[in-house]
Chains A and B, each alone.
Chain A
């Protein structure tokens, strides 16, 4: 209730989606803003990290090589191998490893000073990334089964027969081929967007209550809000990691589903 009273009484403007429209760094029609820069930087960082740590790979790994192998092994073992299965997971490990660390670094930009903007809180970038995954798992399925059989596998679950198919087939088709990439993109986008909005709200609100509010009683509330903002930052750190994990996990699951003989 306090925040509602404040916004009514003293003209505090709460942050909204408009705060995510950044000023372009340069360029007119095809303006280039901070998120674009972060995307490129993240790609360079991921490539640089793995290139540096694996360039002089030796039998007994040094400190850098060990870090690189741990990072690679985490995605390779806990995501790719456990989900896609030991038969043909190796083909997808490069994509999954780069995807995981690319998303992770882009999410971490939300907390790193001077960036402080999670790239995927702009929906367009998340759509692009999900489209890549969509092309991958459909491509893999069509390459393995052929178009007709793949569509059949994706839209008819095993063990279903009779008139219920009339209901199941369109549902499965829409769910597996159309809704999947959309929810994949929106999940990443919405989590980053909502988390960042929450952080803005607590920091701006706390600053307002502490420094600009006329009421003396509101000042301790401002301190609490700022402390909570720090706590939420740690929660965000967890969510940023989790979302990168979930994005990669779902990509691996979709690939596995496209490869499977039985639905």
Chain B
């Protein structure tokens, strides 16, 4: 079997941000379900949190190709 071990490492590294993003959107859905009128405010907070958690996965994919 051929291929780069970097990609296996990236797959492992992506677990963390994956769980994190799941938690963020779970909290967002919960919040909207409890208080639908707060959706506008929660949305931008949720997407900011998503972007920050995703940054880890992005650093991972960059390093997976660079290293």
Q: Which residue of A lies closest to B51 (CB)?
A: A246
The 8 closest A-B pairs by CB, nearest first: A183-B55, A190-B58, A186-B58, A190-B61, A187-B58, A246-B51, A186-B62, A4-B1
Are A187 and B40 closer than 8 Å at their CB atoms?
Answer: no
Per-residue interface assignment for chain A, residues 212 to 223, with 1 indicating a CB less than 8 Å from any chain B CB and 0 otherwise: 000000000000
CB-contacts of A230-248 with B (<8 A):
245-246
Q: Which A residues are within 8 Å of any B CB, using their own CB?
A: 4, 7-8, 17, 78, 82-83, 183, 186-187, 190, 194, 245-246, 249-250, 253
Cα of A109 to Cα of B47 in the assembled complex, Å: 24
User: Chain B's nearest CB lies how many Å from the CB of A241?
Assistant: 12
User: Chain B's nearest CB lies how many Å from the CB of A41?
Assistant: 27
Is the CB of B35 closer than 8 A to any CB of chain A?
no
Are B2 and A7 closer than 8 Å at their CB atoms?
Answer: yes
Q: Which residue of B lies closest to A188 (CB)?
A: B58
Q: Which residue of B lies closest to A83 (CB)?
A: B44
Cα of A190 to Cα of B48 in the assembled complex, Å: 17
Known: A8-B1, A17-B65. A186 touches B59 (CB 8 A): yes
Q: Is the interface of B mostly helix, strand, loop or mixed?
A: helix
Are A194 and B1 closer than 8 Å at their CB atoms?
Answer: no
Given contacts A8-B2, A183-B58, 14 further A-B contacts (CB under 8 A): A4-B1, A17-B65, A78-B40, A183-B59, A186-B59, A186-B62, A187-B51, A190-B57, A190-B61, A246-B50, A249-B44, A249-B47, A249-B48, A249-B51
CB-contacts of B37-67 with A (<8 A):
40, 44, 47-48, 50-51, 54-55, 57-59, 61-62, 65
CB-contacts of B10-56 with A (<8 A):
40, 44, 47-48, 50-51, 54-55
Known: A4-B1, A194-B61. A187 touches B44 (CB 8 A): no
Chain B residues whose C-beta falls within 8 Å of the C-beta of A250 in the assembled complex: 48, 51
Cα of A228 to Cα of B58 in the assembled complex, Å: 24
Q: Which B residues are within 8 Å of any A CB, using their own CB?
A: 1-2, 40, 44, 47-48, 50-51, 54-55, 57-59, 61-62, 65
Cα of A186 to Cα of B65 in the assembled complex, Å: 12
Cα of A223 to Cα of B62 in the assembled complex, Å: 32
Q: List 27 A-B contacts (CB under 8 A).
A: A4-B1, A7-B2, A8-B1, A8-B2, A82-B44, A83-B44, A183-B55, A183-B59, A186-B58, A186-B59, A186-B62, A187-B51, A187-B54, A190-B57, A190-B58, A190-B61, A190-B62, A245-B47, A246-B47, A246-B51, A249-B44, A249-B47, A249-B48, A249-B51, A250-B48, A250-B51, A253-B44
Cα of A187 to Cα of B52 in the assembled complex, Å: 10
User: Chain A's nearest CB lies how many Å from the CB of B59?
Assistant: 7
Chain A residues whose C-beta falls within 8 Å of the C-beta of B62 in the assembled complex: 186, 190
Are B48 and A253 closer than 8 Å at their CB atoms?
Answer: yes
Chain A residues whose C-beta falls within 8 Å of the C-beta of B47 in the assembled complex: 245-246, 249
